[in-house]
Structure 1
């Protein structure tokens, strides 16, 4: 049974999880693409987060059905646990939303994934922002994600950015896996110094407040 946790959720299981989240989503709640971005930011970031810290950001109501609850928790754990192995094997792909258009195939959007990614950063905001404030290399590694987030209106920026064209947007989407892998490698090779470590909920610290969708740099 333990080996099941190492297997990435199948397409049908992702659809099952997506339907569960959609059926209970409020205006500020994350759907599957947002959850994946959120867990990705935590998986590649400066300090890991345990399920008891990140689950309340995804699930806000108690389960009515215990079997359904166990199933959902299992799928979320597998989705989370698959991120690091996928990065190591080069098979990581972000879960993106789809936009219905009048003609042709649906277009993909990174809005939900980027919103979730920002929430993952928010859980470790002091560590991320402290490093971004004095290391431009990290900001550069994040540049495709930042460009998409600004273009989709997830973040505001003090600098002016021209809207991305369709080809530029698609190019940034294609760069997400590489950017995620590069940021993961950055934090592996540039870990937090003792004076950079912010208190976590395990230390009795309160969760950070949301930054309101603004990259701080």
Structure 2
């Protein structure tokens, strides 16, 4: 399997929520108010960044069902509005950063430190990202399937969700390549976003030869 194209150069990464907002989401997603199958903060962050990148837009009702896997036990309507508002804000901020050509700040250090990806927050984040892709998988591969697969390869590899795929075996053993993928993750997010929004270059049409005017024909 070939490697993805080299990621583009860009400015320093930008946080999508402040520390207090992230702590609030972390506390809620780690509480008994949500089911065991709900995404935690790291996975939810990856999931929402994928929704920001996605070529199709899902309604909050659709993606909240995937994120929570059931209705949380909100204390009241105010808490429901607060939590959903923070999740939407994270996604919208990711879209705004990417639209400006910026890089999203990811909630972990960009290194595996010799550990298998699935044992790190990086693996959790990439698994959450792929859950976002699965929400509308056909849209991600509808056009430019090969390019999309190339750009998604690092997310797939680091998520640990595809370890049984024969094509992944060589990359799973290549710790240096995995570490390289980790360092490129913010740039690869931007590359994916641009892949779905910047039309491919097309050859310029050749100028048409001018046909002689009627008056010239009469001469």
The alignment's TM-score, normalised by the length of structure 2, stands at 0.67
1:113 aligns with 2:120: no
State how far apart, in whole Å, the 2-side matches of 1:93 and 1:9 are. Answer: 9
State how far apart, in whole Å, the 1-side matches of 2:187 and 2:30 are. Answer: 29
Gaps of 5+ in 1: 1-6, 102-106, 192-217
Q: 1:127 maps to which residue?
A: 139
Shift of 1:130: 4.2
User: 2:104 pairs with 85, 92, 96, which one?
Assistant: 92
1:29 aligns with 2:41: no
Distance 1:97 1:175, change over 3 A: closer
Shift of 1:96: 4.0
Shift of 1:185: 0.7
Give the length in aligned residue pairs.
174
User: 1:137 pairs with 141, 147, 162, which one?
Assistant: 147
Question: Which structure has the larger Rg?
Answer: 2
Secondary structure at the counterpart of residue 169 of structure 2: coil
User: 1:39 pairs with 26, 43, 48, which one?
Assistant: 48
Gaps of 5+ in 2: 1-14, 114-118, 201-219
Shift of 1:89: 4.7
Shift of 1:127: 2.2
Distance 1:8 1:181, change over 3 A: closer
Deviations along 1:149-206, one digit per CA (max 9) or x if unpaired, are: 2xxx222423242335655433222111111111111111359xxxxxxxxxxxxxxx
Distance 1:184 1:158, change over 3 A: same
State how far apart, in whole Å, the 2-side matches of 1:58 and 1:160 are. Answer: 27
State how far apart, in whole Å, the 1-side matches of 2:39 and 2:166 are. Answer: 26
1:175 aligns with 2:184: yes
Deviations along 1:48-82, one digit per CA (max 9) or x if unpaired, are: 11212211222322422233222212211211111
State how far apart, in whole Å, the 2-side matches of 1:76 and 1:159 are. Answer: 35
State how far apart, in whole Å, the 1-side matches of 2:178 and 2:27 are. Answer: 27
State how far apart, in whole Å, the 2-side matches of 1:42 and 1:90 are. Answer: 16
Task: Write the mapping of 1:1-217 to structure 2, written as runs, cut at 5 A.
Answer: 8-24=16-32, 25-59=34-68, 60-61=70-71, 62-87=73-98, 88-96=100-108, 108-131=120-143, 135-149=145-159, 153-155=160-162, 156-162=164-170, 163-164=172-173, 167-190=176-199
Conservation of the 8 A alpha-carbon contact between 1:46 and 1:187: yes
Q: Give RMSD over aligned pairs.
A: 2.9
Conservation of the 8 A alpha-carbon contact between 1:97 and 1:112: no
The alignment's TM-score, normalised by the length of structure 1, stands at 0.68
The higher-RCO structure (CA 8 Å, 6+ apart) is 2
